Chain A
Amino acid sequence: MSFDFALIVDSIPKMLMGIGLTLELLFLSGILGLTLAIVLLLMRISGRWYLAAPTMVYIYIFRGTPILVQIFIIYHGLPQLDFVRESIFWPIFREPYGCAIIALTLNTGAYVSEILRGGVLGVGRDLKEAGAALGLSVRHRFMYITAPIAIRLCLPAYSNDVISLMKSTALVSTITLLDMMGIARTIVAETYAPYEVFISLMFIYLILTWIIQRTFGWTEKRLSRHVRSEA
């Protein structure tokens, strides 16, 4: 057993060829997931049971099962159903890329919607009452009072979820996609040098995590610039 540095130098550029796919999956399903989460949140806090109940079931199912199983159900499972194969969405479900985006979106949407709900519930009653006293409508109160404060409150938790979404993108290598993880697995299968390849890949992922943390930390600081520190 030896540590082959030439292999590391050789495999890092190869793995970086997959960073485009990793980032694409992260951004696309991150944005779609956030949109889904906002829709779910609005349904959940609407106060109407026929809107709130389905979102609770949805969140319960998607947070209670492994993302790997969700990816497999969508990629391997759905083609078993005739109506999926005959629908106009078949070109999306036929490709592993489309399935990966859908699975990651549905999964992150469930988690993020709970984070957003935590933020909304964290906004003080007194502020909302003040808004009501000023004669703002329910919608205006939500848009101008609740939402800006809630965004600031849930930013730290949201950044953690973006990191876990980034980590989940590595699972698409199980449905034949060649992201960084997929390329690394191919290299290991050829060279049988797991230490060199996987540890270098760990560093690449750690740098991505660090960048996400830094970006969110900076945004948080900027959004909180009006908040007086209590110290």
Chain B
Amino acid sequence: MEAVTGWWDDFFWGSLVVVGVFVVALVMTVLFGLIGSAAKLSKSRTAQRIAGAYTIVFRGTPEILVLLLFYFGSAIALTAIAQVFDPEVKFVDIPPFWAGSFAIALIVGSYATETFRGAFLGVDPGQVEAARALGLSNLKTFIYVRIPAMWRLALPPFGNHMLSLIKDTALISIIGLEETLFVAEQAIGTTGKPFTMFIVVGAIYLGFSTIITLSVMVLERYANRHLEVAR
């Protein structure tokens, strides 16, 4: 373990990058999930088809493929656009942080779409009708009635999505993001101790997973605080 001594601070900064990617991607995941489920539940056939294609594609292809496609694909597109304005430009890319967060959020968002869709369908229609009868607008019904009732149902599977999200952050090291796995590879270059370094990375991720699992338990209790059945 003494080989790790000089690397603790690097691992710390790497962990912060993981947290950063996780938070950014989590916000996007919820957004994609809400938009996707709204599209799937909407009356428009086109919206249903687009959302259907979205979930099929991103749930059926490997994460690493989506990530590489986004990173290299966006780099090519951006370079082409930049060259229109300035032919001198050789290469432009989206920072790995943003390309990576976006890619893993798209993937986990496709799972969240299905979860949210199921949860919205699980909301008692009587509650929505009651809100209508009280004269609440569509938007207010959505925010004050549908969302609070739906997230109670969506929380347990969404906890699993958060776990996938934190684990998918490890992939972003492949496109050069300086997170823990990347730090470990650098540390191995100087110390020649791959087992020790990768075990440290594993321990860091295990810590994150534990924190998420515990937080979901607390959130579930909070979400169900009005329900006697849950106790």
Contact = CB atoms under 8 A, between A and B. Distances in A.
Same complex: yes
Interface of A: 1, 60-61, 63-70, 72-73, 76-81, 163, 166-171, 173-174, 181, 184-185, 188, 192, 194-195, 198-199, 201-202, 205-206, 209-210
Contact residues of B: prevailing secondary structure: helix
A205 B209 CA distance: 28
Given A66-B205, A69-B181, A198 B64 contact: no
Contact of B171 (A66, A70, A169, A210): A66
A195 B76 CA distance: 9
B65 A170 contact: yes
Interface in B58-107: 59-66, 68-69, 72-73, 76-77, 80
Interface in B31-78: 56-57, 59-66, 68-69, 72-73, 76-77
B168 interface: yes
B61 A202 contact: yes
Given A66-B170, A72-B198, A77-B198, A171 B64 contact: yes
B173 to A, nearest CB: 8
B16 interface: no
B60 A171 contact: no
Contacts, number: 120
Interface residues of B, number: 41
A80 B194 contact: yes
Contact residues of A: prevailing secondary structure: helix
B217 interface: no
B193 interface: yes
Nearest to B79: A1
Nearest to A208: B60
A89 to B, nearest CB: 16
Interface string B179-217: 001001000100011111111011001100110000000
Which 9 pairs show the lowest CB-CB distances between chains A and B?
A170-B62, A209-B60, A64-B209, A194-B72, A77-B195, A66-B170, A80-B195, A1-B80, A198-B69
A67 B167 contact: yes
B118 to A, nearest CB: 13
A65 B202 contact: yes
B174 interface: yes
A173 B163 CA distance: 23
Contact of A205 (B62, B170, B195): B62
Contact of B65 (A67, A174, A205, A209): A205
Contacts of A198: 65, 68-69, 72-73
A199 B65 CA distance: 9
Given A76-B198, A194-B76, A195-B69, A65 B209 contact: yes
A69 B195 contact: no
